[in-house]
Amino acid sequence: MKVAIVGAGIAGLTTAWSLTKRGVDVTLFEQGPIPNPLSASGDQHRLMRRAYGDDDGYSRLITEALEAWDELWEDLGECHYAGRGVLAFNQFPNDGGSRFASSLKRGGFSFETWSPQEAAERYPYIDPNRVRRVHYMAEGGALLCQKIGASIARWLNENGALLRPETRVTAVDAAAGKVVVEGGEEAVFDKVVVTAGAWVLKLFPELAGTLTICRTAAVYLDPPDDLKAAWDTSPAVQNVGGNVVGYILPPAGGTELKFAAGVNKRLAQDPDADRIAAPGEGELLRDLFVAPIARVQEYKVKRVVTCAYTFTEDHRFYSHPKGKALVVSPCSGHGYKFGASVGRRVADGVLDGDMDLLLRWLRSEEHRPRQPAMA
C-alpha cells in the first residue's frame, strides 16, 4: 500500500511513523523544512495536561495519549517529554483554576491544593496576593516539540519513509488519489492523508464552513535573575486563572520560558499573513500575566512567535474522508498532547477504513481500547 501524507506537523509525522512501522510505503510532503517552525507544531514546547475544563472525554483520552507517546519514545530511543507536572491558579470563582480542580475531582484524579503563601514559598514568581489557591498535579508537563519533530524525521529516514521537505502540494485529486506538487510533478497513491494544519483550506476550500483559521502569538521571556532557579524547576502552568486563559511553559530540556494567552487569538484569512509580531506585542502579552505573576514587568521580552491554527465550532478534532483522501484536523488549540495517539488512530483508519470510529475518537466520543489494524 502506498500512502501520501501532506504536511509534516505532529499529526503528519506521527501518522507517517505509525504507518511506516506497519510496513506501509509512506511519502511525506512538507512545504517547508521538517520540522517547520511556522507550523502549529513547530514551537519549542506544548503543554501535556489531564484536566480539561468541562470536557471529560478528552481528559479520559489522556491515558491513551501518554501510552502512545511512550511507544514513540521507545521507537525513537529517546524521550522528549519533561514530566514536571502542572499548576493551575485560582483567582476567582469558576475561573480556569477552579475548573481545573472540578475536572480532576470528577475524573477521580489526585492533585494537591496549596495556599497562596505555600505556593509562593515553593515558586516565588507567584504573587500570593493575587491568587486564592494553587492546584498542583504531578502528571503532565511539557512536550519538547522541536526535538520531537526532528527525532521523528530522523526515525522516518532510517526506517524507509520518503521525506519530501520544501515540496508544496498544490492540489489533491481525491477521486484518483493523485498529489500534484509545485512545479507540476504528480504521483498517484492508494490513500492521501492531508494533515495540512492552517493551510488545509488552500487544498480543500469546501471545509471553510467547518474549519476556521486563527492567528495567535506567544512571548519568550527572560525572568529576573533571582527568579530563574524557580522557573528552572517549575511545573508547567496550565492556567493562570482570572479571565485571560493564560498558560506558561517553563524552561525544560533546553527550551525557554514562554507565556501565551487564549484571549490573544484572532480570526485570520491566510495562515501566511500577519506572521511578524507588531512592535510592543510581546510586552502587551506579558502584561496580561500581571496577576498572579509577581514583578511581571521585570521580565525581558526575548522574542514573539506567531502561529496559525484551525478551530472547529465545538473545539473538537475533525476528520473528513473524501474518495481516497482523508483530511485530519486535530487542533482547536489543544491537539499536540494527543500527537502520537492521533498518528496511531489515523493509521488505523487508513488501514481498516473505519472512518466513523476515527471521527468519534477524534471527537473524544469513543473510549474503547484501540484495536490496532495491520497492513
Ligand X SMILES: Cc1cc2nc3c(=O)[nH]c(=O)nc-3n(C[C@H](O)[C@H](O)[C@H](O)COP(=O)(O)OP(=O)(O)OC[C@H]3O[C@@H](n4cnc5c(N)ncnc54)[C@H](O)[C@@H]3O)c2cc1C
Stretch 303-322 residues interacting with ligand X (CB under 6 A): 307, 309
- Counting contacts by CB under 6 A, is residue 285 touching ligand X? no
CA 269 to chain centre: 21
User: Which residue has its beta carbon closest to ligand X?
Assistant: 9
- Counting contacts by CB under 6 A, is residue 46 touching ligand X? yes
Is residue 249 within 8 Å of 236, Cβ to Cβ? Answer: yes
- Counting contacts by CB under 6 A, is residue 59 touching ligand X? no
Considering only 4, 47, 134, 207, the residue that binds ligand X (CB under 6 A) is: 47
Q: Which stretch, 39-47, 78-86, 104-112, 276-284, contacts ligand X (CB under 6 A)?
A: 39-47
Q: How many residues does the chain have?
A: 375
- Counting contacts by CB under 6 A, is residue 90 touching ligand X? no
For residue 209, what is the DSSP state? G
Tell me the per-residue interface mask from 199 to 218 with ligand X, x by CB under 6 A, - otherwise: x---x------------x-x
Considering only 140, 197, 223, 282, the residue that binds ligand X (CB under 6 A) is: 197
Alpha-carbon torsion (360, 35, 190, 180), positive or negative: positive
- Counting contacts by CB under 6 A, is residue 331 touching ligand X? yes
Give CA torsion, residues 251, 56, 344, 194, to 10 deg. -90
Shortest distance (Å) from residue 72 CB to ligand X: 14
Shortest distance (Å) from residue 108 CB to ligand X: 22
- Counting contacts by CB under 6 A, is residue 289 touching ligand X? no
A 10 A CB-CB count for 307 gives 23
Quote the crossing angle between the two packed helices 56-76 and 96-107, to the nearest 10°.
80
- Counting contacts by CB under 6 A, is residue 44 touching ligand X? no
Cross-strand bridge partners of residue 319: 328
Cell digits of residue 306: 506567531
- Counting contacts by CB under 6 A, is residue 95 touching ligand X? no
Strands 257-261 and 169-173: unpaired
Considering only 16, 24, 40, 240, the residue that binds ligand X (CB under 6 A) is: 40
Considering only 18, 20, 27, 31, the residue that binds ligand X (CB under 6 A) is: 31
Is residue 262 within 8 Å of 333, Cβ to Cβ? Answer: yes
Element of type H or E holding 309? strand 300-311
Instruction: Characterize 328-348 residue by residue with b for buried, 16 or more Cβ atoms within 10 angstroms of its Cβ, and e for exposed.
Output: bbbbbbbbbbbbbbbbbbbbb
Shortest distance (Å) from residue 360 CB to ligand X: 19
Tell me the per-residue interface mask from 220 to 259 with ligand X, x by CB under 6 A, - otherwise: ----------------------------------------
Nearest to 349 by CA among 15, 12, 72: 15
Site of interaction with ligand X (CB under 6 A): 6-12, 29-32, 36, 39-41, 46-47, 168-169, 195-199, 203, 216, 218, 260, 307, 309, 330-331, 333-337
